[in-house]
Amino acid sequence: MINADRPSRKLLRVDQTGLALFMRRYGIGIVMLGMIVLLSVISPTFRKPSNVISILLQISINGILALGMVFVITAGGIDLSIGSMLALTSVIVGVVLNSTGNIALACILAISATTLFGLINGLLIAKFQMFPFVVTLATQLVIRGVAYIISGGYSQSLANADFKNIGNGKVFSTIPIPVVILFVIALLAYVLMHWTLFGRYTYAVGGNINSAIASGVNVFWTRVFSFVIMGFCAGVAGVIMTSRISAAQPNIGVGYETDAIAACVIGGTSFAGGIATIPGTVIGIVIIGLIYNGMNLVGINSYMQTITKGLLIIGAVMLDMFINKRK
Amino acid sequence: MEQGNNRDIILSCRHISKAFGGTQALDDVQFDIARGEVHALLGENGAGKSTLMKIIIGLFKADKGSITFDGEPYLAKDPADAIRKGISMIHQELNPEYHLTIAENIFLKREDVRGKVFLDKKSTNLKAQQILDELGVKLNAKRMIEGLTLAQCQMIEIIKAVSFDAKLIIMDEPTSSLDSEETEALFNMIRRLKSQGVSIVYISHRMDEIFQICDRVTVLRDGRYVGSEEIGNVDREKLISMMVGRTVKNIFPKTECAIGETVLKVENLTGKGFSDISFEVRAGEIVGISGLVGSGRSETMRALIGLDPLTSGKVYLSGKEVRIRSVRHALRLGICMVNEDRKNFGLVLHRSIRENISLPNLRERHRKGLINKRREVRETAEAAQTLTVKAASLELDAYSLSGGNQQKVVLAKWLMSKPKVLILDEPTRGVDVGAKSEIHSLMGRFASEGMAIVMISSELPEIMGISDRILIYREGRLNGEVMRQDILSGKENQETVLAREF
């Protein structure tokens, strides 16, 4: 009666559960493959290796943000403050780098700062039972303000060549460093979400917080830690971004949370919490990259791209509800 | 059947049946109420009282049967429709709009308007105040609901019903959270309504009140109609025997096993909904806890395992005093609880069976935070097998399982943690007969392996069949203890047990 095998072996037997399970796991992957095939046919440029590398580079910042965001959403939260965190990273890197010239110190301090704000977000939400939406809407303003104060409101250009290398350099002169970082973070996220206690607790807390409490899960720290991860990822993404634009600016990063959330949702993350996979999220990230890249290649303007992205999010949610018959 | 042949019947239900899945909640039930009468509806937990009321107010549709109301065939589409037709129900849990005034609450969605757009507050307030005064409720209609006592909110609810010209008002346990003074005020209101020709269905477990305020009583048992009587023709004992019937069958065979040392002992536990609870449970023993819903049974257990706060009292585990701070702590000590609400407190429905079973057990089975998947798959499969969970794969969502199988998954998850004390709250509710007896024999097996088991159940035959000892709750306190020998010897039976619950 009991079958502990993975369900994929049973997929040939097309019953409803099998099909639903299949679509849930791989449905969005099929969408991505469809997009790749379509773009390859339409645009010869799309198939060039240089374009593939450029897509990967384009998605690296949003990818890192989305890989943090997926933990927050899965635990039942949301983080709107990551755009401001990017700006905070940028100005801290700028100040430290221009005064000491120490790249490592600049990066560590900047990432620590965003991680700390992630911790604050998490504590406010988990300790005082405040809505994540409201808390991060507020801290977004606070963090942005701090960034302006640190920078005095001015942009600073960064001349340090080694620092520029983080965002623009390549490993083996082919793969850009941000892509490598994205890859490493994706791997870490995969292990964390799918192989560890924390990941399992994240699913339980987001899926049904009462059951999680009744099962002895430390709900408090699970929720807090999801925001800490988000803060850390925002810091890493911020360093890459600062390096790529070679300037410390307090006004960057506005609206970045949208793409990160979109990637999660397109990748099958349930906004109700408790359901997400890292491979799905990575696919969501790639799909967003494909929308930008593909539409650029085909010559559709950026306004249309925005509209498409919006419609795709709605489509992804509807697909998710349809497949899982869930509200 | 009707002795009073010249009674003016306002509501008449005939041959009402209703099934939910496999369980027959109501089976050919009849129910008659006369004009201006206060009619008690009595029965054990799950006898079908609320199902019948929900059919009357249009929340459920009867599978069979017909209702006549005020001389006409009656069928309510929904509660709003029932209210329009003259039947209102005062629920146990009230949900008024706290930020609106009394008048606004009473006339919600039928406010007086001027020029089709603007609310005519003046005339609405005036009308509301009129009814309040008429019924002797000393409140200002312009006051906000927020800050009113529960009893006052209840009055407002009743007044709302009256404002709809209700001919029949159903009250579900209206006095459950009222003090004696408030109860008296409610009774005065009921008498006033009665004198105006309004009929009342009065659902309550409190016998004294039924004798005090009701004219007639109808008893339901296991979804069937037992009988209706003038209140003057019955006494307490008669009503209890009507509720229980005389069919005690030992349909829950118990595995006899050796009883060992005391594992769990609690002294004077007090918290919200219960006070001064003391008992102990030994290894290999199954202690049944019986009592009406809301008598404090579940509340005690929830507080015991750290899900709700405990005001005072002591807990000893294997002779050592422990202060349980959280469920996590209880779990570490080896106490776990299968919650009665398995959808909200037992399972994460949209995660797999495997993840649900392993959730509380990963703490002892990880290495530096990493889960050993292979071991997890093996152990959860073993646990599921022990409990005969029927599923195509353990990777399926818990959501996709039947009630009985979901319950087995919950049991599997706690069994895997190898507890010393297992608390089960209504472990067989919503479970089909086959799975039910499986769960019972599993409980016997766990006990024989030395586990101390506490089982809360609303089903008397179940609790009497499987327990070594039964603790009886009455209104938040323990009201007696029944030993298995006394049941076997016939000294105690369902009636004597039930009598202690009322």
Distance from CA of A7 to the nearest CA of B (A): 7
| Same domain for B277 and B358 | yes
Tokens at residue B43, please?
A: 């029965």
pLDDT at A5 over 90: no
Final residue belonging to a domain, choices B198, B217, B244: B244
The residue with tokens 């198939």 is A47
B154 versus A320: which is more confidently predicted?
B154
- How confident is the model over A43-54, as a mean pLDDT? 90
Tokens at residue B176, please?
A: 């459950």
* CA–CA distances in Å: residue B33 to residues A148, B70, B118: 75, 10, 42
Angle at which helices A161-168 and A103-128 pack, to 10 degrees? 60
Q: SS3 string of chain A?
A: CCCCCCHHHHCCCCCHHHHHHHHHHHHHHHHHHHHHHHHHHHCHHHHCHHHHHHHHHHHHHHHHHHHHHHHHHHCCCCCCCHHHHHHHHHHHHHHHHHHHCCHHHHHHHHHHHHHHHHHHHHHHHHHHCCCHHHHHHHHHHHHHHHHHHHHCCCCEECCCHHHHHHHHCEECCCEEHHHHHHHHHHHHHHHHHHHEHHHHHHHHHHHCHHHHHHCCCCHHHHHHHHHHHHHHHHHHHHHHHHHHHCEECCCCCCCHHHHHHHHHHHCCCCCCCCCCCHHHHHHHHHHHHHHHHHHHHHCCCHHHHHHHHHHHHHHHHHHHHHHHCCC
Residue A313 lies in a domain: no
* DSSP sequence for B41-84: EE--TTSSHHHHHHHHTTSS--SEEEEEETTEE---SSHHHHHH
Which residues, 6+ apart, have CB-to-CB distance to B451 below 8 Å?
B283, B284, B419, B420, B421, B422
| Same domain for B284 and B426 | yes
Residue A98 lies in a domain: yes
Residue B430 lies in a domain: yes
- How confident is the model over A197-224, as a mean pLDDT? 95
pLDDT of res. A277: 92
| Same domain for B194 and B81 | yes
Restricting to A residues 247-306, those with a Cβ less than 8 Å away from any Cβ of B are 270, 274-275
| 8 Å CB contact of B351 and A4 | no
Residue B16 lies in a domain: yes
* Residue A238 neighbours by CB distance under 10 Å: 33
Are B316 and B276 within 8 A, CB to CB?
no
Residue A291 lies in a domain: no
| Same domain for B475 and B378 | yes
State which amino acid sits at residue B417: S
CATH number at residue B328: 3.40.50.300
| Same domain for B304 and B434 | yes
Distance from CA of B24 to the nearest CA of A (A): 29
Residue B128 lies in a domain: no
Of A3, A204, A217, the CB nearest to B392: A3
Picking from A211, A217, A270 by the largest number of B CB atoms within 10 A of its own CB, the best residue to mutate is: A211
Q: What is the pLDDT of residues B210-231, one digit of tens each?
A: 999 999 999 998 889 999 999 9
In angstroms, the CA B182 to CA B184 distance is 5
| Same domain for B194 and B70 | yes
Angle at which helices B403-416 and B433-448 pack, to 10 degrees? 10
Of A20, A29, A25, nearest to A284 by C-alpha is A29
| Same domain for B439 and B305 | yes
Which sign does the torsion angle of CA B255, B257, B263, B265 carry? Answer: positive
Question: Considering only CB atoms, which chain A residues are within 8 Å of B407?
Answer: none
Which H or E element spans position B402? Answer: none
Phi, psi of B9 (to 5 degrees): -80, 125
Residue A22 lies in a domain: no
Q: What is the pTM of this model?
A: 0.79
Distance from CA of B473 to the nearest CA of A (A): 24
| 8 Å CB contact of A207 and B396 | no
Residue A306 lies in a domain: no
Are A71 and A132 within 8 A, CB to CB?
no
A13 interfacial to chain B (CB closer than 8 Å): no
* CA–CA distances in Å: residue B11 to residues A82, A187, B221: 63, 69, 21
Residue B34 lies in a domain: yes
Are B465 and B251 within 8 A, CB to CB?
yes
Of B155, B207, B159, nearest to B42 by C-alpha is B207
Q: Could you tell me what percent of chain A has a pLDDT over 90?
A: 65
Question: Considering only CB atoms, which chain B residues are within 8 Å of A216?
Answer: 326-328, 330-332, 360, 363
A173 interfacial to chain B (CB closer than 8 Å): no
Residue B89 lies in a domain: yes
Residue A151 lies in a domain: yes
A208 interfacial to chain B (CB closer than 8 Å): yes
Going by the DSSP 8-state scheme, the letter that residue B321 receives in this structure is E
| 8 Å CB contact of A7 and B395 | yes
Tokens at residue A128, please?
A: 């005082």
| Same domain for B231 and B152 | yes
Residue A321 lies in a domain: no
pLDDT at A175 over 70: yes
Of B345, B346, B392, the CB nearest to A17: B392
Question: Considering only CB atoms, which chain A residues are within 8 Å of B351?
Answer: 203-204, 207, 274
In angstroms, the CA B167 to CA B36 distance is 9
| Same domain for B279 and B425 | yes
What are the residues facing B422 on neighbouring strands? B336, B453
Q: How many domains does chain B have?
A: 2
Which H or E element spans position B493? Answer: none
A100 interfacial to chain B (CB closer than 8 Å): no
Phi, psi of B35 (to 5 degrees): -65, 135
Q: What is the pLDDT of residues B126-140, one digit of tens each?
A: 989 998 888 888 889
Picking from B355, B359, B417 by the largest number of A CB atoms within 10 A of its own CB, the best residue to mutate is: B359
Q: What is the pLDDT of residues A258-296, one digit of tens each?
A: 999 999 988 888 888 999 999 999 999 999 999 888 888
B391 interfacial to chain A (CB closer than 8 Å): yes
Tokens at residue B401, please?
A: 């399982």
| 8 Å CB contact of A215 and B360 | yes
Q: SS3 string of B422-458?
A: EEEECCCCCCCHHHHHHHHHHHHHHHHCCCEEEEECC
| Same domain for B272 and B227 | no
A5 interfacial to chain B (CB closer than 8 Å): yes
Residue B347 lies in a domain: yes
Residue B126 lies in a domain: no
Q: How many domains does chain A have?
A: 1
Q: Give Cα A45 distance to the centre of its chain.
A: 27
Residue B253 lies in a domain: no
pLDDT of res. B19: 85
| Same domain for B276 and B313 | yes
Which residues, 6+ apart, have CB-to-CB distance to B137 below 8 Å?
B155, B159, B189
Query: Residue B248: left if φ>0, alpha if ψ -120 to 50, beta else—which one?
Result: beta
B396 interfacial to chain A (CB closer than 8 Å): yes
Tokens at residue B59, please?
A: 């929340």
| Same domain for B346 and B210 | no
Question: Considering only CB atoms, which chain B residues are within 8 Å of A76?
Answer: none
Question: Considering only CB atoms, which chain B residues are within 8 Å of A10?
Answer: 392-393
The boundaries of the domain holding residue A174 are: 60-254
Tokens at residue A166, please?
A: 């983080």
Q: What is the pLDDT of residues A99-121, one digit of tens each?
A: 998 999 999 999 999 999 999 99
Output the average pLDDT for chain A.
88
| 8 Å CB contact of A200 and B381 | no
Phi, psi of B4 (to 5 degrees): -75, 95
In angstroms, the CA A289 to CA A284 distance is 9
In angstroms, the CA B252 to CA B310 distance is 34
In angstroms, the CA A40 to CA A46 distance is 6
B435 interfacial to chain A (CB closer than 8 Å): no
Which sign does the torsion angle of CA A190, A194, A195, A196 carry? Answer: positive
The boundaries of the domain holding residue B377 are: 262-501
Which sign does the torsion angle of CA B133, B135, B141, B145 carry? Answer: positive
List chain B residues with pLDDT less than 50.
1-4, 248-250
Residue A176 lies in a domain: yes
Residues in chain B: 502
B328 interfacial to chain A (CB closer than 8 Å): yes
Of A203, A214, A216, the CB nearest to B355: A203
In angstroms, the CA B365 to CA B363 distance is 6
pLDDT of res. A117: 97
Are B398 and B356 within 8 A, CB to CB?
yes
Angle at which helices A49-74 and A219-245 pack, to 10 degrees? 150
pLDDT of res. A23: 65
Of B407, B375, B374, B373, nearest to B388 by C-alpha is B407
Are A93 and A242 within 8 A, CB to CB?
yes
